[in-house]
Structure 1
Amino acid sequence: MRTKDGKARISVRNLVEFVLRSGDIDNRITAEARSDAMAAGSRLHRKLQKAAGEGYHAEVFLQRTVESGGFEITVEGRADGIIDGEVPVIDEIKGVYRDVLKMEEPVQVHLAQAMCYACIYARSSKLPRIQIRMTYCNLDDEEQIRYFLLEKTAEELEDWFQGVVEEFVRWLTWIAENQKRRDESIRNLEFPFPYRTGQRDLAVAVYAAQKRGRKLFIQAPTGIGKTMSTVYPSVKAIGEGLGERIFYLTARTTTRTAAEEAWNILRKKGLFFHTVTLTAKEKVCVMEEADCNPEYCPRARGHFDRVNEAILDIITQEQAINREMVCRYAEKHRICPFEFALDISDFMDGIICDYNYAFDPDVRLTRYFGEGSEGSYLFLVDEAHNLAGRAREMYSALLSRKEVLAAKKVFGTRKLPASRAIGSLGRHMLAMKKEMDGDFRVYGDISQLLRLVSSAFDALRKYLDENRESGDREDLLEFYFSLRSFLNIYELVDEHYRIYGELTRDGDFRVRLFCVNPVENLGNCLAQAKSTVFFSATLLPLPYYRELLSPAEEDYTVYAGSPFSEKNRGIFIAGDVSSRYRDRGEESYRKVASYIRSAVSSRKGNYMVFFPSYAFLEQVLAASDFVEVPAENGGYLKGRNEDCDIIVQTSRMDEACREEFLAEFSAGRERSLAAFCVMGGIFSEGIDLQGEKLIGAVVVGTGLPMVCTEQKILQDYFEDCGQNGFLFAYQYPGMTRVLQAAGRVIRTAEDRGIILLLDERFLRRDYRNMFPREWNDTRRVSINDAREKLGKFWEDQEQKGSKEDST
């Protein structure tokens, strides 16, 4: 919802659905009962329009421009039909999955849409009266049609229409005033800090890409200030009219917090700019379960009756709207906080949210990115190295025979259409399972499976819509969503996909639609942004990420150097240890443990040790003479050996436990601390331990993903494309994990620290070619001299510090 130069344009549907919405949130009506009513409804529209005969004019474009409150507002849309006659008729067709013969009156928002068209047509044709016909048709039984007919005078319609427009003007006034104030505040806004080395060039590159409508890839090490270097020029671009809204897209909560802080810093410098942070429904829901229906949740009951006043309340009082603020205002107005935040976003200049709100086909924000949606958006993709992996998951789908059997079991002995359809699907998957001649099989054609999935989905959808109060509904919903996802994703399948069946260790059989390379699907989403900036401290090697995210030759690339002195950190590579599977054993575990002892003994402080897996971690822990100490928390282990205190990441840690784990780095202690973690896990990125909180990272192994069906298919795909499959499937993703782990050290100009890489492969040319440019001073160590060389680094740091102090 935007206005420019006192002019605004809005569709009839969007106008009435915003101004006149009312009623409950009700997820018992499946999404397909809504989206299918649009897709199948389009076909039904054409059928009914064609059968209407002469005198029926289909899809008539209507438009009216009115002046109100100082605005010139254009309202437009296509009437489903106009029927000639002494008193012309506006026909509004709605396809629904319900018994239309039981309807007592039309849905009010549907009627309002028809009344808008009637008012526009009556005025343009100078009609004194006009009729409105609401045509409801059952999409499952197209012979079942219900009509509602009413007649209105042009005067009645005009009075009603002016009332709708006046309510809309109330919102336009707020928008126009805030846009003016925002742009004035941006005009003289300066960068809030002295530029670090390379930071100004980074900001200039972002602005240039946005001005020219290009994509930009930024590889910039930790500490250069990537968040502010991307947010500030984007805000300036908004002020120059180069975009209408910023989407700050992230993979983790911590980076969303960094974005919020960046905007708050700019506000302290005079910026007037509205932002909202979107949070997953499960995290803000006030009920035990996120079951959005008026029978279960009091916030869902009457939500749409109250939400507009709540929106006006919060946007007139707040600029920086975060999770806590959304929940507080939602409590005040007794509405759903999740849906509330989505509606707030319509009035925001910046939206901070997870990747999935822009890219995931199941949950992306259709109000901005749906078919036919238009906007001039600026995407800022933080931690962009995560996007390719996340996108593979978003655009892939899985169907398990075990979940098919579980759904069939829910129906018991009931001979229902849904039960029979699910049973047929299960039998076909059993036949596919019996045809397997190995652990996995790649398919070229699954048309028979698709027909059975589609039949099961249609039957189950109808059952759920007709049995909204059924006790087995919750048991079937997850399966229903699996079927929906499978069918939707199959519509995307192209040469970048592989379809395969797989036998699991527990005897299950699964069929997966695997998006090997998400570049096409991401490209369709990125095309809805005017400009996209991908940035990360580990976007290496850049050609690899460009291949997966956007390979267009006209895209820009920036490699920013580190603003910190290379002398502040020492990078050491152990050439006499290996983490290869064939080299693992008691001797190698003890050697790794010995290197860890050398690191923590070189100087008292906090160290993180990153392992390739939990299994490897446990073996080294045992080889480290670890003695567990009883701890109050139940999420991670605490203990010690003769050299240091030890804390150990586990697979069962929740968010609260994660915070406790990180708090250990701030605790005063008399000995060094070694935190045993897993590469690629929750402590590999998104944490900021500055100064003495962390002075070293030990990285065990090259981070290669485990060999599995998915990685084999990845390797084969890239080899078929003429690439080095092993590089793309294993080495590149592995090096990303290594760089993430190493990046925990040296967060500010004052930090000092060591990075110890434990694997002889890091000495090979193919691995060194993947190192960042600033890693040009690595030093080799062995089990015999590691403690001495690490100690020498710290002695040099102390001498350097003494000289700086005396100077």
Structure 2
Amino acid sequence: MASIHLPIRQLVEFLLRTGSIDSRFAGFDRANEGARIHRKLQKAAGEGYQAEVFLSAEREACGIAFTLEGRADGIFTNETGTVTIDEIKTTTVPYEEITEELNPCHWAQGMVYAAIYSSQQGLEALAVRLTYYQVDTDQLLRFTRQFTRQQLEQFLQQLLTQYAPWAQRQLDWDIRRSQSLAALQFPFAEYRPGQRALAGEVYRACRAGKSADRKGGTRVFCQAPTGIGKTMSALFPALKAMGEGCGAKLFYLTARNTTQAAAEDAVARLRAAQPGLALRSVTLTAKEKACLHPDAEGHPACLPEVCPFANGYYDRRKDALAALLDGSGSFSRAALADTARQFSVCPFELGLDLSEWCDVVIGDYNYLFDPVVHLKRFFDAAGDWLFLIDEAHNLPDRARAMYSAQFAKSSLTEAKRALGKGKSSLKTALTKADKVFLAARRACAQAAPRTGAEPAGETEPTQVSLLPAETAPDFALPQPLYARDGTVFLQQLPAALPAALRSVHTPLQDWLEQNPDDPAHAQLLELYFALQDIARAADRYDSHFVTQLTARGSELELHLLCLDPAPFVDASLAAGRSAALFSATLTPPAFYRSVLGCADARAVALPSPFPPENLGLFCLPGISTRYRQREASVPAVADALAALAKGKTGNYLAFFPSYAYLQQVYEAFAARWPDISTLVQQHSLDDAGRAEFLAQFVPRPAKTLLGFAVMGGIFGEGVDLVGDRLIGCAIVGVGLPQVNPRQEMLRRYYEEQSGCGFDYAYRYPGMNKVLQASGRVVRTPQDKGVVLLLDDRFAQPDTARLFPPHWQHIQYLPGTAALETALKGFWDS
């Protein structure tokens, strides 16, 4: 008999949930406190109350064996001697509006637990109690119903019978999928050199999974040269492992939309190579981009009275899901949008619901790693998931940003101003919080007095404080790690600051709930989210963090900076069976294992599959691009770029460490060689601007084009200009991050941790940018191109030791004349 595993809550909510999506403010943090409230009520129940009782049972319906699992909030014997299942729910529904029929899912969940427990314990009768906790008033309201075992069992069977067609649909699909994946063939005639080795590493990691001594799952780091075909080399073996029962679902996680498209293309190629392939894949798109009915400002308005796709969503989602599941199995953003329009459902929520029925889920890193937006339906508990982390060199910085938070004192000032005249508890709370921040700003300014002009681009804010300075209390600033020009860094988080912000939570929440139509609602909601971010970061704050306070004029900025995301990334990856993290640049592996919490992970580096003679690699070590020498270096850099561009007619890119330096060299180059066409990367390009820039790099160009771009930017990685669309690039500088107090805090932290502070904060991230940019040139075995390195540090042992093996033939040249000769020899060959 076919069998299926089914969480009890999933069963009842899928069948019985009705109504609309409604994102109006309803106490987000209170909802998140549900677990805490549960524990409080369970503890108050006293002895004899069994809390969080795990229940599991086997049931059969319509020829399907169901394994049901869940946790009852409480089980106890009531005053009449009847065993009672307690189902606890927190709610913001006004106390007087809470009724027995508030939500049928609540009774259904309790009744299923009761059916299982009565059967296991041989009880002929049982009670189910709904305990509602009204979070605004701290009031309790309880409803109790009596059931016989026969009634409970009959109800459970009705649910399973109702769910059986969906279960049978999934079981049939699982058989088809397993058979398809077992027969899956590599979609190319042969592997590229190195592809088979990469595929083998991923396959073995997926097969190994978890063990008694490796509860976090198997992890492997794979460094594979750009152009080897990493996406297919990772996706194909993971799917083969799934076909053998090793993994229930595959998550392909990326840092950029371009790599999401590469994953979609790889799945499409597998389908084309094997017609009839049973494989469902969905690409999750951010709500802002997926929304079909944004408000006037372009933001999603998820309210039933405003959005027709939110109104009645849960009444129509099963029809939409059925239509999709009976379709092609490829669910892109466009496919979800089409179905959403057809059934009048939200495409974003539809994608999330559909992901539970899909085999491959493609999306951004934040769906796994971000503590706020990760997919709770999958990752709040461990599962048999396979993780493929593409371009994993981006994960350290992305993870640091996810676990950091910031808050500006001016948010308090502006919120009070938005409330207008009159008194309120919220105004009082804002005033008290601003008083603490004012004192902290004064202490910060005193500890780090400004000694000169403001840095370029920074201006004094014009807002004023809520309170005059003389009313501000004393503020004890811990001993700073750094104090200069209005900025201090602290190892400790001053407890007074998060405490002051927490005191605003409740009155702000009450105001938001009571004034949904107030013109200031959107602004105060933003304040609420900022308070939430700080509160979460403060709760996580430990030795992996540092506090930054910056005083400018009347402003005080509070930053809780995560320096080391390793424990948080480790915990996220532990939710799955295995993880393969791959990129062209994971050197040195010890660095990435350390900063990503994968100390025992296997790390492999695959050789380049391309003939070394196809890459001309040259360096002019007579040029220094250090910050203090940049202005003097401009003529020499411009000369070198001209020599590169004149070596052969074609398309070239030059990568710079900053926009300012790029502009300096560009102006000098354009003035001296106006006959060479140029293209300059502009600030903040959107997708259309990026596409327009790349479209200029045409195949078989009639004249030379030299593009100027920023290292580590949108053109430094994820760009695939194959063949003669790009035949050369120049790397100007070693890519070191800008020296600033934050980067120095990172350096200090890792110096204490491993004695490698400069490497971790500067050298390794810099070389990562260099290698990524250089990887834009040779993309296939037939490509031929040039990489020119401009900086004396490329000749120093500490930098040269990070070169990949296929760079061993690098030529260090004395000047531009020698470069011209070398280029002629390379192209003539």
Q: After superposition, what is the alpha-carbon deviation per residue over 1:676-712, rounded to whole angstroms, capped at 9, x for unaligned?
A: 1111111111110001100010111111111122101
1:666 to 689, 694, 698: 698
Residue 380 (str. 1) matches residue 388 (str. 2): yes
Does structure 2 retain, via aligned residues, the 8 Å contact 1:192–1:266? yes
When residues 654 and 376 of structure 1 are mapped into structure 2, their CA distance, relative to the original with a 3 A threshold, is same
Does structure 2 retain, via aligned residues, the 8 Å contact 1:40–1:139? no
After superposing the two structures, state which structure 1 stretch, 162-171 or 568-577, moved more: 162-171
1:173 to 153, 157, 168: 168
Cα distance, 1:78 vs structure 2: 1.3
Residue 223 (str. 1) matches residue 218 (str. 2): no
Residue 480 (str. 1) matches residue 532 (str. 2): no
How many angstroms apart in 1 are the aligned matches of 2:45 and 2:2? Answer: 38
How many angstroms apart in 2 are the aligned matches of 1:719 and 1:500? Answer: 19
How many angstroms apart in 2 are the aligned matches of 1:37 and 1:391? Answer: 24
How many angstroms apart in 2 are the aligned matches of 1:10 and 1:302? Answer: 25
* Structure-1 residue corresponding to 2:455: none
Cα distance, 1:139 vs structure 2: 2.2
How many angstroms apart in 2 are the aligned matches of 1:31 and 1:235? Answer: 41
How many angstroms apart in 2 are the aligned matches of 1:253 and 1:531? Answer: 24
Q: Which amino acid aligns with 1:584?
A: R
After superposing the two structures, state which structure 1 stretch, 352-361 or 489-498, moved more: 489-498
Q: Which amino acid aligns with 2:400?
A: R
How many angstroms apart in 1 are the aligned matches of 2:439 and 2:107? Answer: 51
Q: After superposition, what is the alpha-carbon deviation per residue over 1:72-116, rounded to whole angstroms, capped at 9, x for unaligned?
A: 213343153453538765443322233222334422222222333
Cα distance, 1:657 vs structure 2: 1.2
User: Residues 430-579 of structure 1: matches in 2 within 5 Å?
Assistant: 430-436=438-444, 437-438=447-448, 439-503=487-551, 508-553=555-600, 555-579=601-625
Residue 404 (str. 1) matches residue 412 (str. 2): yes
How many angstroms apart in 2 are the aligned matches of 1:179 and 1:91? Answer: 36
Secondary structure of 1:293's match? Answer: coil
Secondary structure of 1:15's match? Answer: helix
Does structure 2 retain, via aligned residues, the 8 Å contact 1:398–1:482? yes
* Structure-1 residue corresponding to 2:822: 789
Does structure 2 retain, via aligned residues, the 8 Å contact 1:666–1:693? yes
How many angstroms apart in 2 are the aligned matches of 1:498 and 1:33? Answer: 25
How many angstroms apart in 1 are the aligned matches of 2:391 and 2:816? Answer: 35
Secondary structure of 2:754's match? Answer: coil
Q: After superposition, what is the alpha-carbon deviation per residue over 1:305-359, rounded to whole angstroms, capped at 9, x for unaligned?
A: 1112211210121222111111111111111111110111101111111100000
How many angstroms apart in 1 are the aligned matches of 2:733 and 2:292? Answer: 44
Q: Which amino acid aligns with 1:358?
A: L
Residue 69 (str. 1) matches residue 73 (str. 2): no
After superposing the two structures, state which structure 1 stretch, 179-188 or 608-617, moved more: 179-188
Does structure 2 retain, via aligned residues, the 8 Å contact 1:37–1:139? no
* Structure-2 residue corresponding to 1:746: 778
When residues 340 and 717 of structure 1 are mapped into structure 2, their CA distance, relative to the original with a 3 A threshold, is same
How many angstroms apart in 2 are the aligned matches of 1:126 and 1:449? Answer: 56
Q: Which amino acid aligns with 1:547?
A: S
Cα distance, 1:264 vs structure 2: 2.0
User: Residues 262-301 of structure 1: matches in 2 within 5 Å?
Assistant: 262-270=266-274, 271-288=277-294, 289-301=299-311
Does structure 1 retain, via aligned residues, the 8 Å contact 2:31–2:90? no
2:399 to 369, 383, 391: 391
When residues 483 and 784 of structure 1 are mapped into structure 2, their CA distance, relative to the original with a 3 A threshold, is same
* Structure-1 residue corresponding to 2:197: 201
After superposing the two structures, state which structure 1 stretch, 575-584 or 740-749, moved more: 575-584
CA RMSD, aligned part only? Answer: 2.3
When residues 308 and 441 of structure 1 are mapped into structure 2, their CA distance, relative to the original with a 3 A threshold, is same
User: Residues 720-735 of structure 1: matches in 2 within 5 Å?
Assistant: 720-735=752-767
2:18 to 10, 19, 22: 22
Q: Which amino acid aligns with 2:644?
A: A
Residue 184 (str. 1) matches residue 179 (str. 2): yes
User: Residues 125-204 of structure 1: matches in 2 within 5 Å?
Assistant: 132-142=128-138, 144-150=139-145, 157-193=152-188, 194-204=190-200
How many angstroms apart in 2 are the aligned matches of 1:562 and 1:210? Answer: 24
Give the number of aligned pairs.
770
Among all aligned residue pairs of Structure 1 and Structure 2, give the percentage whose two residues are the same amino acid: 38
Q: After superposition, what is the alpha-carbon deviation per residue over 1:256-294, rounded to whole angstroms, capped at 9, x for unaligned?
A: 111112222222333421111111111110123212121
Q: Which amino acid aligns with 1:8?
A: I
Secondary structure of 2:367's match? Answer: helix
2:677 to 642, 645, 657: 645
Does structure 1 retain, via aligned residues, the 8 Å contact 2:777–2:785? yes
Cα distance, 1:668 vs structure 2: 6.7
After superposing the two structures, state which structure 1 stretch, 587-596 or 304-313, moved more: 587-596
Does structure 1 retain, via aligned residues, the 8 Å contact 2:220–2:579? yes
Cα distance, 1:209 vs structure 2: 2.0
How many angstroms apart in 2 are the aligned matches of 1:549 and 1:571? Answer: 32
1:357 to 367, 373, 379: 367
After superposing the two structures, state which structure 1 stretch, 323-332 or 155-164, moved more: 155-164
1:102 to 97, 101, 120: 97
Residue 765 (str. 1) matches residue 797 (str. 2): yes
When residues 121 and 186 of structure 1 are mapped into structure 2, their CA distance, relative to the original with a 3 A threshold, is closer
Structure 1: any 5+ residue segments left out of the alignment? 628-640, 797-807
* Structure-2 residue corresponding to 1:116: 112
Q: After superposition, what is the alpha-carbon deviation per residue over 1:444-470, rounded to whole angstroms, capped at 9, x for unaligned?
A: 242122211211123222322333333
Q: TM-score, normalised by structure 2?
A: 0.89
Cα distance, 1:655 vs structure 2: 0.7
When residues 148 and 599 of structure 1 are mapped into structure 2, their CA distance, relative to the original with a 3 A threshold, is same
How many angstroms apart in 1 are the aligned matches of 2:266 and 2:508? Answer: 47
User: Residues 245-324 of structure 1: matches in 2 within 5 Å?
Assistant: 245-270=249-274, 271-288=277-294, 289-324=299-334
Structure 2: any 5+ residue segments left out of the alignment? 210-217, 449-486
How many angstroms apart in 1 are the aligned matches of 2:142 and 2:756? Answer: 64
How many angstroms apart in 2 are the aligned matches of 1:119 and 1:369? Answer: 28
Q: After superposition, what is the alpha-carbon deviation per residue over 1:358-415, rounded to whole angstroms, capped at 9, x for unaligned?
A: 0000100011111xx2311111111000000100001111122122322232223342
* Structure-1 residue corresponding to 2:638: 593
Does structure 1 retain, via aligned residues, the 8 Å contact 2:489–2:546? no
Secondary structure of 1:721's match? Answer: helix
Residue 8 (str. 1) matches residue 4 (str. 2): yes
Does structure 1 retain, via aligned residues, the 8 Å contact 2:38–2:88? no
Q: Which amino acid aligns with 1:49?
A: A
Cα distance, 1:607 vs structure 2: 0.4
Q: Which amino acid aligns with 1:255?
A: T
How many angstroms apart in 1 are the aligned matches of 2:290 and 2:443? Answer: 46
Does structure 2 retain, via aligned residues, the 8 Å contact 1:273–1:319? yes
Does structure 2 retain, via aligned residues, the 8 Å contact 1:443–1:501? no
Does structure 2 retain, via aligned residues, the 8 Å contact 1:49–1:58? no
How many angstroms apart in 2 are the aligned matches of 1:123 and 1:721? Answer: 56
How many angstroms apart in 1 are the aligned matches of 2:80 and 2:205? Answer: 56
How many angstroms apart in 2 are the aligned matches of 1:431 and 1:106? Answer: 48
Does structure 2 retain, via aligned residues, the 8 Å contact 1:8–1:71? yes
How many angstroms apart in 1 are the aligned matches of 2:119 and 2:753? Answer: 61
Does structure 2 retain, via aligned residues, the 8 Å contact 1:330–1:337? yes
How many angstroms apart in 2 are the aligned matches of 1:64 and 1:582? Answer: 71
How many angstroms apart in 1 are the aligned matches of 2:727 and 2:305? Answer: 55
